[in-house]
Amino acid sequence: MRTTFFGYELARRALATSQRSIDVAGHNIANASTPGYSRQRVITTATPPYTVPTLIRSGQAGQVGTGAEITSIRRVQSAFLEAQARMVTSDSGAWSRRHEALSRLEAVTNEPGDSGLHALLDRFWMSWQGLSTDPASTSLRQAVTASASSLADGFNRVDRQIRALQTNADEMVRADVYRINSLADQLNGLNQAIRLASGVGDNPNDLLDQRDVILRDLAQAAAVTIREYGDGSIAVAIGGYDLVQQYGVNRLATVNQPGTGFAQVMWEGTGVPLSARSGTLAGAIEMRDTIYAGFLADLDIIADTIAAEVNAIHRTGFDLSSPPETGRDFFDTTVSGARGMRLSAALAGDVSLIAASAGGEAGDGQIAVAIARIRTERLAGLGEHTIDDHYRGLVAGLAVRGQEAERVMHTQELLSRQIDNQRSQESGVSLDEEMVELMKHQHVYTAAARLLTAMDEMVQTLIERTGAGR
């Protein structure tokens, strides 16, 4: 026997189901442009059928449907695409740092430009050539000290600017450490919330989305590996060491290196150094310790070579004093490297102390010729290259690496866009689709309401026509 009010319950379920579906479509529409949002789908199933509960079945057709209900609301998302996106993000984080470092170096060296070191070197050697033709001339001597000072200033300036960039990179390292720690705390909090929600059988879709977004942020800073637990929580490791565990976090700490004062990244309270493979943190460390430091070291070699070679010849020459004096250095070498390149103070104050003469005669310019010729000499200290060649090699290295970084960045960008597109194809909200969904459920709702009316009319007919209550 069918109960009289069976249809009411069925219509109620239909109304509730379509209402909830409309709510979910609304949620999707509202989050159409929320970063990291995965569209949600309502999983509707038919409710268990009503079987007439008698041992001896009557002649009635069995298994009467009882309507529909929502069993779960699930986000549409691909864990594989997420993992890929994280990997690409880590790589492009490192490459963007590399690219930044190289393009800043390009800006600092300013080649090919009129104020680049190459041009300053040109002018320096030319001033010695000039002096060789009229070694006693005060104006030509001044030209030599002027070009030497601007060469030294050029080296000092490039050195200072690169050191500033290095400090800047160090700040990036510290900022990344701070960011990673704060993201780890957020992940820990989300882990707890997700565990609670999963514990009561819910799908914490929006929390999971949030966690994915944070994981992507984290992946940008450092490449991560993830392990999932049955309760929905995850552990996140950087370089094989757990940052976030199922319960609790391990933080990163910075220790100031002796000497440079730059930050060394360690796991807090352990003394274990961080080994990050890619991501912006590893990129910033590479920027600071390899790209900038390497360029500085190369500049130091060039500056020291110039000072040593010029001094060696200059010491053998004689100046304009009477009697002529010899054995004086041209460059002051108390501080070595590009940062310490400086014209000898005595020479800067008195140009007559430039030793251009080989024998002591004022008109002799053999020393000036010899110094000007250093330019074309292959020097053992520079791997049998001339100073010009060596510097050009440095610029070329910068250029090739800069070009590669730009190309890789571009490729990474394309790759990441492709993955984003795939992810968007899978998980993104399509407004058209949601509109269709909306219309569909609106119609279902209308029909269910109509069903209720029909049921109601039927009962009304029964009550009124049979005279019950009369």
Smallest gap from Cβ 40 to other proteins, in A, equals: 14
Closer to other proteins at the Cβ: 249 or 310?
310
Phi, psi angles (nearest 5°) of residue 336: -85, 170
Is residue 33 at the binding interface for other proteins, with CB under 8 A as the rule?
Answer: yes
Between CA 317 and CA 358 the distance in angstroms is 5
Contact region for other proteins (CB under 8 A) — 79-87, 133-141, 142-150, 300-308? 133-141
Smallest gap from Cβ 156 to other proteins, in A, equals: 21
Closer to other proteins at the Cβ: 112 or 258?
112
Closer to other proteins at the Cβ: 4 or 425?
425
Gyration radius of the chain over CA positions: 39
Between CA 157 and CA 148 the distance in angstroms is 14
Smallest gap from Cβ 366 to other proteins, in A, equals: 7
Closer to other proteins at the Cβ: 10 or 162?
162
Could you tell me which residues are beta bridge partners of residue 264?
A: 255
- Per-residue contact track with other proteins, 433 to 462, x per CB under 8 A? x-xx--x-----------------------
Residue 89's closest CA among 219, 238, 177? Answer: 219
Is residue 369 at the binding interface for other proteins, with CB under 8 A as the rule?
Answer: yes
Selected from 398, 444, 448, 451, the binder of other proteins by CB under 8 A is 398
Is residue 357 at the binding interface for other proteins, with CB under 8 A as the rule?
Answer: yes
Contact criterion met (CB below 8 Å) for 89 and 362:
no
Closer to other proteins at the Cβ: 297 or 435?
435
Closer to other proteins at the Cβ: 32 or 43?
32
Between CA 310 and CA 140 the distance in angstroms is 17
Is residue 112 at the binding interface for other proteins, with CB under 8 A as the rule?
Answer: yes
Q: How many residues bind other proteins (CB under 8 A)?
A: 62
Between CA 29 and CA 439 the distance in angstroms is 13
Selected from 301, 399, 408, 409, the binder of other proteins by CB under 8 A is 399
Contact criterion met (CB below 8 Å) for 85 and 223:
no
Residue reference for tokens 């000092």: 156
Is residue 134 at the binding interface for other proteins, with CB under 8 A as the rule?
Answer: yes
Is residue 352 at the binding interface for other proteins, with CB under 8 A as the rule?
Answer: no
Using CB under 8 A as the binding rule, the residues of this chain from 46 to 105 that contact other proteins are 102-103
Is residue 316 at the binding interface for other proteins, with CB under 8 A as the rule?
Answer: no
Is residue 130 at the binding interface for other proteins, with CB under 8 A as the rule?
Answer: yes
CB atoms within 10 A of CB 270: 10
**Cis peptide before 35, with omega less than 30 degrees from 0?**
no
Q: What is the 3-state secondary structure (H, E, C) of 329-365?
A: CCEECCCCCHHHCEECHHHHHCHHHCCCECCCCCCCC
Is residue 231 at the binding interface for other proteins, with CB under 8 A as the rule?
Answer: no
Contact region for other proteins (CB under 8 A) — 140-148, 208-216, 271-279, 355-363? 355-363
Could you tell me which residues are beta bridge partners of residue 234?
A: 228
Is residue 396 at the binding interface for other proteins, with CB under 8 A as the rule?
Answer: yes
Contact region for other proteins (CB under 8 A) — 14-22, 233-241, 397-405, 455-463? 397-405
Is residue 365 at the binding interface for other proteins, with CB under 8 A as the rule?
Answer: yes
Distant-in-sequence, close-in-space partners of 281: CB < 8 Å, separation ≥ 6: 173, 176, 177, 180, 221, 222, 265, 274
Smallest gap from Cβ 102 to other proteins, in A, equals: 7
Between CA 220 and CA 238 the distance in angstroms is 12
Task: Give the pair of three-digit tokens for residue 223.
Answer: 């490449």
Is residue 325 at the binding interface for other proteins, with CB under 8 A as the rule?
Answer: no
426 burial level (CB within 10 Å; 0-12, 13-18, 19+): middle
CB crowding 244-263: b at 16 or more within 10 Å, else e: bbeeebbebbbeeeeeeebb
Contact criterion met (CB below 8 Å) for 10 and 66:
yes
- Per-residue contact track with other proteins, 414 to 433, x per CB under 8 A? ---x--xx--xxx-xxxxxx
Distant-in-sequence, close-in-space partners of 216: CB < 8 Å, separation ≥ 6: 36, 82, 85, 86, 89
Is residue 108 at the binding interface for other proteins, with CB under 8 A as the rule?
Answer: no
DSSP strand pairing (68-75 vs 40-46): antiparallel
Selected from 403, 446, 453, 461, the binder of other proteins by CB under 8 A is 403
Is residue 366 at the binding interface for other proteins, with CB under 8 A as the rule?
Answer: yes
Between CA 246 and CA 239 the distance in angstroms is 17
Closer to other proteins at the Cβ: 3 or 33?
33
Q: Is 57 helix (H, G, I), strand (E, B) or coil?
A: coil
Smallest gap from Cβ 436 to other proteins, in A, equals: 7
Contact criterion met (CB below 8 Å) for 336 and 400:
no
> Where does this chain bind other proteins (CB under 8 A)?
32-33, 102-103, 106-107, 109, 111-112, 118-119, 122-123, 125-126, 129-130, 132-134, 136, 357, 359, 361-366, 369, 372-373, 375-376, 388, 392-393, 395-396, 398-403, 405-406, 417, 420-421, 424-426, 428-433, 435-436, 439
